[in-house]
Amino acid sequence: MKNVIKLSLALAIAALAFSSCNCFKQMARNREDVKVTVDPEVLALNNGIVAADIHVSIPVEYFHKKAIVKVTPVIVFAGGEVAGTPKFYQGSKVKENYTVVDKTSGGNFTQHVEFPYDPRMDQCELQVRAEIQCPKGTCKELTLVNLNTGALPTEEEAAILAGNDEAAKAAIAKEFGLTIAYGLNTLQKDIKYGELMEPMANNYKKVTTVVNKTDLLYAINSSTVTKKNERKANLGEFKADVDQKLDNDRATQNIAVKGYASPDGPEKFNDKLSEARSKSGKKVVAKLLKDSGLDIDAAAYGEDWEGFKELVEKSNIKDKNLILQVLSLYSSSTQRESEIKNMATVFDELKSDILPELRRAQIVNSTDIQGKTDAEIMAAFRNGDELTVEEYLYAAETLANGVDEEVAILTAASKKYNDARVWNNLGVAQTNAGDKAAALNSFAKAAKLDSSKELNKNLLLSNLANGNTNEAKKYAAAADAESKAAMAAATGDYKTAEGTLTGYNQAVAAIMNNDLATAKKAIAKDKSADADYLRAIIATREGDQSTANAELKSAISKNPELAQKAAKDANLKMVH
């Protein structure tokens, strides 16, 4: 509180007509002895409120015993003003219930003032306006006094103040007011909540693998293919699938024949049997697809314990769990077979229902389907053509040229897909684009479809960004440390916020906590326009105007819009 204003309690009465308001004569003569300070010297935005404490020190033998003074704080900005709660002071012989200022002792008084934030307040000043009342003279009723000259209203001014012309009345009141603080520090608004938000992942794959398979079964201990088993394998349907994909120039087909043997009998015999089945199966497939031009791979896999386990798991066989336990306890094929055969009551069922299905050559078509290229996806978006939800999400995350196009892509997706990921990621993009109200609406739509941790965090942060601190607290219980730090910053607890946030956001919190060393360190490697702007603020606070000018020039060269912000930023005008 370095700016000490030596004025009366909202009364600088340099030229007051003493005979008009007799009880103020002595107060006017001693006006230089009254000290007024404001904390903070530059007003600050905190949690949607602009607040300050006006401290007044009144000396002994100053305040008249019969005087009443009404002091009204007013925040003034281009296009309007907002009056705060007035405070009344009275001398010791006044029979009212106001704050008493005893002439024999004087005193120190504090008037706390608060104003709901209005963006027009970014360039503002804090005034106090005073009305005086004496038991005799022309000030028997509360009368506005000019705190800059000490004069009472002229007859013409008094007539205007008593009239109905609100604009003229406001002009006089502003002229009569004493400005005790200039500017508003709105740095709290610069916290980048969007950088703390979490998008939801997409499942986009540039290559999708589609598998079609069928089993060509064999008799026990045989590798001979029968016409009956060819028919049972539905080879016609398999060929039709291959032929259809041959017409797709994005499809790459890989045909394989895998020979297996059921896990009963000698292991070496079964290895040879599976190889023979892969070869006989390959002959069948080669004949089937002779006109396709596709290569056919064949391989033998011996005893099919994996297939055995899969079929048992899907079955209703008695003691199924015991069989599966044997498979988990023993890795040796011989031990497994021996233990299972010892289950006499179960083995017959295995022989009839499970093992025949494992005597096979499995014919597999594993097709890699190439998705749209990045250029094709963006062309489809710009032309309004069809895209899958995964393609939209991928395009917004990876292909968008800036945040505005990201918003456009996800907005288009939201019109076709009611998907929580789309709404959530749209909310993140809208926050980064500065459309905080729309972002909150998008998160609300996502919340109707999902309750993930990402969405809980984003709802908390979006409510903070919109100034809804109480609503944000509803999500605090499940919030992570970073979200809670953002809430601390939004409510003015910059020390707590500074300890957890990182980068640009940590720098903002550190500046508000007047920890300039930490602020500089937090953005040391950040070469963005916003970081340069913060460095200009830091240098201004340090009294290094040369550095401040250089950093501001750099910031504006990278983002010309910052020039308009700088023109009215109180942080760049602070003198310490």
Q: What is the dihedral of CA 436, 437, 439, 442, to 10 degrees?
A: 180
State mean pLDDT over 306-328: 90
Instruction: Determine the pLDDT at residue 35.
Output: 86
Above 80 in pLDDT, residue 294?
Answer: yes
Instruction: Determine the pLDDT at residue 210.
Output: 95
Residue 4 binned pLDDT confidence (cut-offs 50, 70, 90) = very low
Reading the block at residue 515, the tokens are: 């920890």
Instruction: Determine the pLDDT at residue 18.
Output: 40
Above 50 in pLDDT, residue 44?
Answer: yes
State mean pLDDT over 26-51: 84
Q: What element of type H or E holds 42?
A: strand 35-46
Above 50 in pLDDT, residue 12?
Answer: no
Above 50 in pLDDT, residue 342?
Answer: yes
Above 90 in pLDDT, residue 348?
Answer: no
Domains of the chain plus CATH, in order, are 5-185 (no CATH), 207-370 (3.30.1330.60)
198, 452 Cβ separation under 8 angstroms: no
Residue 149 binned pLDDT confidence (cut-offs 50, 70, 90) = confident
- Based on its alpha-carbon atoms, the radius of gyration of the chain, rounded to whole angstroms, reads 41
Global pTM reads 0.74
Q: How far apart are CA 43 and CA 519, in angstroms?
A: 21
257 forms beta bridges with 298, 363
Q: What element of type H or E holds 1?
A: none
State mean pLDDT over 69-79: 93
pLDDT in tens, 444-478: 999 999 989 999 999 999 999 998 999 999 999 99
State mean pLDDT over 173-194: 93
How many helices and strands (H and E) does the chain possess? 25, 16
Q: How far apart are CA 210 and CA 365, in angstroms?
A: 8
pLDDT in tens, 238-293: 999 999 999 999 999 999 999 999 998 899 999 999 999 999 999 999 999 999 99
Lowest-confidence region among 27-36, 250-259, 563-572: 27-36
Residue 341 binned pLDDT confidence (cut-offs 50, 70, 90) = confident
Above 50 in pLDDT, residue 3?
Answer: no
Above 50 in pLDDT, residue 13?
Answer: no
Above 90 in pLDDT, residue 539?
Answer: yes
121, 570 Cβ separation under 8 angstroms: no
Q: What is the dihedral of CA 35, 537, 480, 407, to 10 degrees?
A: 120
Instruction: Determine the pLDDT at residue 20.
Output: 61
Contacts of 125 (CB under 8 A, 6+ apart): 75, 76, 77, 179, 181, 182, 183
State mean pLDDT over 504-522: 96
Residue 574 binned pLDDT confidence (cut-offs 50, 70, 90) = low
Tell me the percentage of the chain whose pLDDT exceeds 70: 95
Instruction: Determine the pLDDT at residue 148.
Output: 84
Specify the DSSP class assigned to residue 154: P
Residue 30 binned pLDDT confidence (cut-offs 50, 70, 90) = confident
Tell me the percentage of the chain whose pLDDT exceeds 90: 78
Reading the block at residue 487, the tokens are: 């809430």
State mean pLDDT over 543-547: 94
Instruction: Determine the pLDDT at residue 9.
Output: 41
Is the dihedral angle over the CA atoms 49, 52, 53, 56 positive or is it negative? negative
Comparison of pLDDT for 427 and 31, the residue scoring more: 427
Reading the block at residue 438, the tokens are: 């729309």
Reading the block at residue 526, the tokens are: 């950040």
Average pLDDT over the chain, rounded to whole?
A: 91
3-state class of 385 per DSSP? coil
In this structure, the strands spanning 178-182 and 124-133 are: antiparallel
Question: How many CB atoms are closer than 10 A to CB 290?
Answer: 9
Instruction: Determine the pLDDT at residue 137.
Output: 78
Per the listing, tokens 């499995």 go with 362
